[in-house]
């Protein structure tokens, strides 16, 4: 057996450093945070070799007084906290006094700094945490920290460094986040001598987003306007529903100016797009939450990417409500070219972005964005008044609107109408419309079991079913909402049974929502059904009354718009 001995101090320092400095990007993050805390207006980040070669962060902030430079590099020394009580009202990004010490412990660091109210600057050099030189220098106020040979003394960590491209991506992500969170500061990012990103420092978040995502996406983003008089302030920019991504990676969240990774808040954003996005797709969003400092605990993790709220539920609801409002108000009818409609190849609007988007990732799920598309109207969902022209393929309604042609998917549109009508009645229970003759429906044993188990819920939603021996059920009523009358009870029940079979694991609320969607799907007018002019007109009038008329409850578009100018272009006028 080995005897228990204290660890040598340099090993202790390296272990502690590991929590703060996981990779080159964490060095960038910590140094940038220090520059922001120092009141910098411009922060320049230079990186060589994805951070393995060198990382340099230069700012024009308050600088470090000559007498305090050594202290700054010691562990648990900070100018940002003086008492435990301060921990409850943190307004700076740093407060643990660990970053500079940790970075210095695992690399070679040079720091040149001059405090604003001092005449002379200081240059220090540290290797593995030890100060190896110090002298006075002349320089303008501010601080430049240069980090070289990261992990030179921690072979285990060095081995785990990922490819240069991966490290660059992580660095880019951090710089972008801070540029968005601090639009009044100018951030300049240089990789291997080439400037790849610059935020204008104008104070406007949208300007930063244009620099990050390119002019088209930047222009399409919808503004989240904060509610007044609430303790939880939610603001930011979110994508219109047609701008969707394959994962949650582009939901960027900040709490009190600090970037956070919070699955629940991200979920609140996704929830706000409920029924507006195709299944399995995620929105692009930048959401900033501001709460009184004492309402949130940021001291959960050394990297500080997690936070805890005193009232997480209230924050969740505020985020969901604010984002939903922005999306519903801002949603526009998708224009040809924003949906991939193969039959109508539409040339993308010719545009040369002054600057390529910083994110090389193509904005999938979105073509050229043209705004504004729809003149303001009195309808709740902002749908323009449409005049029916006819029907194509017994599937699409052709209509004319104030700016051109509209094609409406009759099934998707009717699903939306039924869905909103049922959801509106759901709180008090959807009334039942008894059938003149009950309809017997045979189900598989599995489906029969599920329908039997959910009979009460179905009844509350206006769909009365009754066991009829074996695996057969009698449908006695359909939900009594405006335009359900022509539905086939059999199809409705089969659709519901299938939905129950697919979504068994959900909460009661989720099950009920799924049932409503299935009822609507089963009851909606089908593709291939010839409609009279009156039926088409009635459908459009009902659609106009919807809060979200532009997508079906599954997130597919209900209509496509071809503007007069697009028609002109297609005809080479
Ligand atoms: P923390 O940020 O948690 O205080 P750090 O180790 O990151 O801890 O920094 C220690 C101290 O060094 C800070 O509290 C601050 O006083 C000073 N400091 C670090 N970077 C800068 C900078 N860029 N400009 C001015 N002061 C700085
Ligand atoms: Mg710090």
Q: Is 339 exposed, middle or buried (0-12, 13-18, 19+ CB in 10 A)?
A: middle
State the distance from the centre of ligand 1 to the C-alpha of 73, rounded, in angstroms.
8
Residue nearest to atom 14 of ligand 1 (CA): 78
Which pLDDT does position 368 carry in this prediction? 34
Cα 305 to middle of ligand 2, angstroms? 14
- Cα–Cα distance, 172 to 51 (Å, whole number): 11
Going by alpha carbons, the residue nearest to atom 16 of ligand 1 is 79
Residues of the chain with pLDDT below 70 are 1, 17-19, 80-91, 95, 299-304, 331-379, 504-505
Query: Is residue 96 in contact with ligand 1, taking CB distance under 6 Å?
Result: yes
pLDDT the model gives residue 88: 61
Cβ of 100 below 6 Å from ligand 1: yes
H helices, E strands: number in the chain: 17, 24
Q: Is 124 in the pocket of ligand 1 (CB under 6 A)?
A: no
How many angstroms does the Cα of residue 141 sit away from the middle of ligand 2?
18
**CA-closest residue to ligand 1 atom 8:** 97
- How far is ligand 1, taken at its centre, from the CA of residue 144, in Å? 12
- Does the Cβ of 61 fall within 6 Å of ligand 1? yes
Largest CA distance in the chain: 96
How far apart CA 46 and CA 42 sit, in angstroms, is 13
pLDDT in tens, 295-353: 888 766 655 577 889 888 899 999 999 999 899 887 655 555 443 333 232 333 333 33
Closest ligand relative to 38 C-alpha: 1
Alpha-carbon distance of 48 to 51, in angstroms, equals 5
Q: How far apart are CA 440 and CA 438, in angstroms?
A: 7
Q: For the whole prediction, is pTM greater than 0.85? A: no
Sheet architecture: strand order including 559-562: 387-392, 396-401, 404-409, 559-562
The verdict on the CB of residue 64 being under 6 Å from ligand 1 is: yes
Q: Which ligand approaches the C-alpha of residue 69 most closely?
A: 1
CB 489 within 8 A of CB 439: yes
- Measured CA to CA, the distance from residue 334 to residue 216 in angstroms comes to 15
pLDDT of residue 349: 34
Cβ(478)–Cβ(459) below 8 Å: no
Alpha carbon distance 544, 538 (integer Å): 10
Q: Which atom, in ligand 1's list, is nearest to the CA of 92?
A: 2
Q: Are strands 121-127 and 130-137 parallel, antiparallel or unpaired?
A: antiparallel
Per-residue tokens: 106: 């695992």
């Amino acid at each position: 057996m080995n005897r228990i001995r204290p660890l040598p101090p340099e090993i202790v320092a390296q272990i502690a450093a590991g929590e703060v400095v996981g990779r080159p990007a964490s060095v960038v993050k910590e140094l940038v945070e220090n520059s922001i805390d120092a009141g910098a207006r411009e922060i320049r980040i230079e990186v060589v070799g994805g951070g393995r070669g060198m990382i340099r962060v230069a700012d024009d902030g308050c600088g470090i007084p000559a007498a305090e430079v050594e202290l700054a590099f010691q562990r648990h020394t900070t100018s940002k906290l003086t008492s435990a009580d301060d921990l409850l009202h943190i307004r700076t990004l740093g407060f643990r006094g660990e970053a500079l010490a940790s970075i210095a412990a695992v690399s070679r660091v040079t720091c040149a700094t001059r405090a604003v109210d001092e005449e002379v600057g200081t240059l220090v050099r540290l290797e593995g945490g030890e100060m190896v030189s110090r002298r006075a220098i002349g320089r303008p106020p501010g601080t430049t920290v240069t980090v070289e040979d990261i992990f030179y003394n921690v072979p285990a960590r060095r081995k785990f460094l990922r490819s240069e491209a991966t490290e660059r991506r992580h660095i880019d992500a951090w710089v972008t986040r801070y540029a968005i969170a601090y639009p009044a500061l100018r951030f300049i990012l240089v990789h291997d001598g080439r400037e790849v990103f610059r935020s204008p420092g104008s104070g406007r978040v949208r300007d930063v987003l244009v620099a990050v995502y390119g002019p088209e996406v930047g222009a399409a983003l919808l503004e989240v306007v904060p509610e007044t008089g609430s303790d939880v302030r939610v603001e930011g920019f979110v994508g219109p529903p047609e701008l969707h991504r394959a994962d949650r990676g582009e939901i960027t969240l900040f709490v009190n100016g600090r970037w956070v990774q919070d699955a629940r808040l991200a979920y609140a954003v996704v929830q706000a797009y409920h029924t507006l996005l195709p299944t399995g797709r995620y929105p692009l969003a930048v959401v900033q939450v501001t709460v009184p400092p004492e309402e949130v605990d940021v001291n959960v993790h050394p990297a500080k990417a997690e936070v805890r709220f005193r009232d997480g539920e209230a924050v969740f609801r505020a985020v969901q409500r604010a984002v939903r409002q922005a999306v519903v108000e801002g949603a526009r009818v998708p224009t040809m070219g924003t949906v991939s409609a193969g039959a109508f190849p539409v040339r993308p609007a010719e545009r040369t972005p002054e600057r390529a988007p910083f994110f090389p990732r193509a904005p999938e799920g979105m073509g050229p964005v043209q705004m504004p598309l729809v003149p303001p109207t009195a309808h709740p969902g902002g749908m323009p008044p449409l005049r029916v022209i006819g029907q194509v393929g017994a599937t699409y309604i052709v209509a004319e609107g104030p700016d051109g042609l509209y094609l409406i998917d009759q099934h998707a549109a009717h699903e939306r109408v039924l869905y909103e009508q049922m959801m509106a009645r759901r709180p008090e229970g959807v009334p039942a419309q008894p059938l003149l003759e009950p309809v017997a429906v045979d189900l598989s044993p599995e489906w029969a079991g599920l329908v039997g188990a959910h009979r009460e819920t179905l009844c509350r939603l206006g769909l009365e079913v009754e066991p009829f021996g074996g695996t057969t059920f009698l449908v006695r009523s359909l939900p009594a909402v405006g335009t359900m009358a022509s539905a086939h009870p059999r199809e409705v029940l089969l659709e519901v049974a299938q939905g129950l079979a697919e979504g068994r694991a959900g909460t009661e609320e989720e099950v009920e929502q799924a049932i409503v969607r299935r009822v609507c799907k089963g009851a909606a007018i089908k593709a291939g059904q010839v409609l009279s002019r009156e039926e088409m007109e009635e459908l459009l009038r009902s659609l106009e009354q919807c809060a979200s008329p532009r997508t079906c409850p599954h997130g597919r578009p209900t209509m496509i718009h071809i503007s007069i100018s697009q028609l002109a272009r297609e005809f080479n006028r």
